[in-house]
Amino acid sequence: MKVPRFPDGFVWGVSTSAFQIEGATSADGRGPSIWDVFSADRAEACDHYHRRSEDVRLMRELGMAAYRFSVSWPRVFPDGSGKPNPAGLDFYERLVDELLAAGIAPYATLYHWDLPQALEERGGWPSRDTARRFADYAAAVHDRLGDRVGTWFTVNEPWVAAFLGYGSGVHAPGRKSAAEAFRSAHHMLLAHGLATQALRAAGAAKVGAVLNLSPVMTPAQVGDFGRELSEEDAEAVGRIDALANRQFLEPMLRGAYPAELLPVIERHGGLGHVRDGDLDTIAQPLDLLGVNYYTPLVVQAQPSEAADPAFPGSDGVLFCTIPTAVTAMGWPIVPGGLTLVLRRLSEEYPDLDLMVTENGADFVDVVTGDGIHDVERISFIEDHLRALLSAVREGARVRGYLVWTLLDNLEWSDGYQRKFGLVHVDFATQRRRPKDSALWYRDVIRRNGLTETPPRRPTLETVAARAGVSRATVSRVVNGEASVSADVRTSVLRAVKELGYVPNAAARSLVTRRTDTIALVLSVPRQGDALTAAVVQYVTSMLEGAGKQITLMLADTAESHRRIVQHAEARLADGVVLLPPDRADTLAERLSRTGVPLVLLGKPAVASMVPYVDVDNAGGAAAATEHLLARGRRRIGMICGPMDLVAVQDRLAGHRAALHRAGLRPLLALADVTRASGAAAARQLLADDPSLDAVFAAGDQLAIGALHALREAGRRVPEDVAVAGFDDIDAASATTPGLTTVRVPVADQALALARLLLSRLEGRHTTSVVLPTRLVVRDSTSASRP
Ligand code: FCB
């Protein structure tokens, strides 16, 4: 069998960035960065600062040849300028030494978005001085590491840093000005040029930059890139390509901005910041261009469309959603886009060496007792490696491939909910566990190639897809039923043989009774429970997408419980999803005794073996409470929802624990789930303690009720009393002032539930999943107390 192989000397590795993994944000004199100020998430990340050696060992075991990390600017220059902080540099020196001892080539990125806050306060990237400071910083880092680091990258994805940081404000520092975004982009380019000069002057071996590059196409071109475009669509595609890609490529590699971009920049604040000689400085010869590729940009002309703030000048262009598979991030999976990017670069810049410096995917991982079987991530990487190989075969000079990323980490504004790692991180314990994708990647590295047949464990679905029949048909053939035609039987058996499918005992006993129907059992949704409604909607569409029919059943009376249990006993459903089983009833237990695979949304009141999907309620409540404490609030009342709900019990426990750590005692008021009861509880808290200065509510509807009641009582929010809620992100975004709340990942819960159930149907061992929550800080808590 011919194995697709990569060129000799092809470099395999992973990329990370300082802010996303290091933690230890005030250790050894590090100053704050713009992300420390902007981020709503706790900053420990993966605590890599203290676990560096373990992480290097992990990479060595996985066979990495290169590791691209970023240096944290505020560790080296805590105040942005002055003398470098030796302790900050020590950390990277030790890291580099350990990498070299492990046989891993260190690739250092100098700017991966963590600008020292001190420089932001002096103007940030819209100020030209920041570019000069960057060159000094580059020289200081080289001074310490230059004898050991051979490959340097100046800036990472300046488009993101400039246009999300200063344009749309979705990233730090959160400014929203098109003019500042263009100025920032120019100054990042200038910073790249000045730093490249400084590094070269100091004798750096290889210097490059890293750009996020996406092919731009219309929806119709996604499946057929060669397709002709109308004049309007061609113009839209060209304009977005200039903004996203050529704005950076052409100054760096040709010494000029794309001609059609100049009037756009001119219209947004002018061109005064582009000085004579800048473009010559920017266009330093490059040894290597790093390409980060995740997904294409899909657009079409649409005259009525207003500009997207991340793409100032994009008026009349619609950013389209396309009906392709997506990652959990919602990014369309289009491996062919990588071939397009690499092909184009090698056509336009034939002498330039390229490296894929980031590529990878966020999927919801299900942690089971026997590992993390992240087959989607394996397929994603494998498909992109095949796409890379096609470009190499056409002559593209691609020198290596670095997966984004080694560890699950702090994904910028999205917090900890995103899972891009080859290695799973349990953020409560910092335990690292390689996922299947890590072990698979290790084998790819060893072979310097892929295998002909994807190594995925074939499932009933794969067999069905290969044979072009339904799962039920495959079951019937596998179980020797006579009702299948000879032709179909032959093709199913061929697929079984080709794929090496082995039906396991559990699946086998199940498949004989397949109905391809799943019962979705709903405990009575409480009023205002938007969350459950959303989860139901997502779970339904995911299971339907997997070919299941859904029977919705309401568990509202003793009689209905009996009917539901009978339904399961009679095997009228292959599996049951019960949501939410918070109340201390026996339905979950009775269903689990029927032997029908069962999964729960939310941790059950009574501990059992039934796997569930939950969110970290205690952690979320603790984060909200700690946030209030950090704002100087000391008399914090909590409004609890119904105490028979496990989620409420956990939120209370998290709140108590945080208060306890601060040496404070809880002040509680009970409510149900409605706004009116939240208002009543807030009035009670005020009566109990007139100097109340903050309220944490176990639900956002309760918090909204409290907002109203506090205002009626003449209290200002947040000046007098700060308010934080939990879990209804939509409702919380609509209040005045905006409500600080704990966001729970709705789609991820649904996806995890659906996957948990599907794994159980395959007879695989499964364990419960607890997803992280995220504090979203808004104005209702923003003022601090002295
Ligand atoms: C890239 C960033 C990296 C990470 C991935 C998902 O844009 O460089 O830090 O956020 O996306």
Q: Give me the residue spans of the domains in the chain.
A: 11-447, 460-503, 512-613+748-764, 615-746+774-781
pLDDT at 14 over 90: yes
pLDDT of amino acid 238: 98
Report the run of H or E that residue 160 belongs to, with start and end. none
Same topology between domain 512-613+748-764 and domain 615-746+774-781: yes
The pLDDT value recorded for residue 456 is 55
Could you tell which of 212, 292, 362, 409 is best to mutate to test the pocket of ligand 1, judged by most ligand atoms within 8 Å of the CB? 292
Residue 402 tokens, joined: 């670095």
CA 774 to chain centre: 12
Residue the block writes with tokens 């960057």? 134
Give, using CA atoms, the residue closest to atom 2 of ligand 1: 157
Report the SS3 class of residue 518.
Answer: strand
> Among the options 358, 376, 382, 626, which is catalytic?
358
**pLDDT above 70 as % of the chain:** 95
Per the listing, tokens 């907002």 go with 707
Q: Write down the mean pLDDT value for the chain.
A: 90
Cα(73) to ligand 1 centroid in Å equals: 18
Task: Please say if 157 is a catalytic residue.
Answer: yes
C-alpha 27: how far from its chain's center? Answer: 26
Distance 420 CA to ligand 1 centre (A): 9
| pLDDT band at residue 108 using 50, 70 and 90 as cut-offs | very high
How far does residue 212's CA lie from ligand 1's centre (Å)?
9
Tokens, residue 392: 């190499």
Q: 615-746+774-781, which class in CATH? A: alpha beta
CA-nearest of 190, 194, 238, 185 to 212 is: 185
The residue-averaged pLDDT of 488-504 equals 74
Residue 134 confidence (pLDDT): 98
pLDDT at 502: 63
Residue owning the nearest CA to atom 9 of ligand 1: 17
Residue 473: band (very low, low, confident or very high) from pLDDT cuts 50, 70, 90: confident
Rounded CA gap, 402 and 209, in Å?
14
Distance (Å, rounded) from C-alpha 300 to C-alpha 237?
7
Q: Domain spanning 11-447 has what CATH number? A: 3.20.20.80
Write down the pLDDT at residue 604: 79
Q: What is the pLDDT of residue 503?
A: 60
Nearest ligand 1 atom, CA 210: 8
263 pLDDT above the threshold of 90:
yes
| Pick among 3.40.50.2300, 2.102.10.10, 3.40.640.10, 3.40.50.300: CATH of 512-613+748-764 | 3.40.50.2300
Q: Is residue 80 within 8 Å of 24, Cβ to Cβ?
A: no
Pocket around ligand 1 at a 6 A CB cut-off: 17, 20, 156-157, 160, 212, 292, 358, 404, 411-412, 420
pLDDT in tens, 655-671: 999 999 999 999 999 99
pLDDT in tens, 578-637: 886 555 567 888 888 888 899 998 887 777 778 899 999 999 999 999 999 999 999 999
What tokens appear for 153 in the block? 């990258």
Give the residue with greater pLDDT, 29 vs 586: 29
For residue 292, the CA-to-ligand 1 centroid distance in Å is 8
Q: At what angle do helices 178-201 and 129-145 cross, to 10 degrees?
A: 30
Predicted local confidence at residue 482, as pLDDT? 64
Whether the Cβ atoms of residue 55 and residue 4 lie closer than 8 Å to each other: no
Average pLDDT over residues 564-580: 87
Residue with tokens 């184009």: 344
Question: How do residues 623-651 score in pLDDT, each as one tens digit?
Answer: 999 999 999 999 999 999 888 788 898 99
Among candidate residues 746, 626, 630, the one with its CA nearest the CA of residue 696: 626
Query: Hey, which of 529-533, 568-572, 659-663, 780-784 has the most confident mean pLDDT?
Result: 659-663
Q: Where are the alpha helices (DSSP H) in 202-230?
A: 219-223
Name the maximum alpha-carbon separation found in the chain: 82
Among 157, 250, 382, 762, the active-site one is: 157
Q: Which of 351, 445, 350 is nearest to 400 (CA)?
A: 445
- Answer yes or no: pTM beyond 0.75: no
pLDDT of residue 526: 53
Q: CB atoms < 10 A from the CB of 747, how many?
A: 16
Whole-angstrom CA distances from 721 to 634, 651, 665, 689, 784 are: 11, 20, 18, 12, 10
Kindly indicate the confidence band of residue 242, based on its pLDDT and cuts at 50, 70 and 90: very high
Summarised one tens digit per residue, pLDDT across range 165-215 is 999 999 999 999 999 999 999 999 999 999 999 999 999 999 999 999 999
From the candidate CATH numbers 1.10.150.20, 2.40.37.10, 1.10.260.40, 3.40.50.880, the one assigned to the domain spanning 460-503:
1.10.260.40
Residue 567 has pLDDT above 70, yes or no: yes
C-alpha distances out from residue 405 to 59, 81, 150, 227, 423, Å? 11, 31, 21, 34, 8
Ligand 1 centre to CA of 419 (Å) is 12
How far, in Å, CA of 506 to CA of 676, rounded? 50
